[in-house]
Amino acid sequence: MSLAVIKFSSEECGICHKMSFYDQKVAEELGLQFIDVKMQDTATYRKYRKILLTQYPDKSEMGWPTYILCDSPEGEFQIIGEVKGGHPKGEFRSRLQEVLNSTASA
């Protein structure tokens, strides 16, 4: 499995910016690839848009930021789970770990 965390965020989002100080480090410590997608970066956004729209067809329920865990994001991806919104570092780690644990037991 090539699991990745894809962070969908906005340059104007203060919480997204605050989490950027530790989100990639936490993801990598859990053995996950980290992909940062800013909505304003049209080239990167287009590349991963299909994953976001699979989870949120009209984007109405997504949080800022939204982290989608998925397998094989560059190919025939499979969404494993997600973490929405801003969280302190420890809680963010716990939430990612919960998604990983639910995948392992599935």
- Residues 23-77: pLDDT tens digits? 999 999 999 999 999 999 999 999 999 999 999 999 888 889 999 999 999 989 9
DSSP code string of 35-79: EEEETT-HHHHHHHHHHHHHH-TTSTT--SSEEEEEE-TTSS-EE
Neighbour order of strands in the sheet with 3-9 = 33-38, 3-9, 66-71, 78-84
Please report, for the chain, the start and end positions of each structural domain, with discontinuous segments joined by +: 3-104
| pLDDT tens digits, one per residue of 6-22 | 999 999 999 999 999 99
The pLDDT value recorded for residue 82 is 95
Q: Are 70 and 51 in contact (CB under 8 A)?
A: yes
2 confidence band (pLDDT: 50, 70, 90): confident
Q: d(Cα 40, Cα 24) in Å, to the nearest integer? A: 19
Q: Which of 98, 91, 97, 103 is nearest to 31 (CA)?
A: 97
Q: What is the pTM of this model?
A: 0.93
The pLDDT value recorded for residue 55 is 94
H or E, element range at 94: helix 89-104
Could you confirm whether domain 3-104 is CATH 3.40.30.10? yes
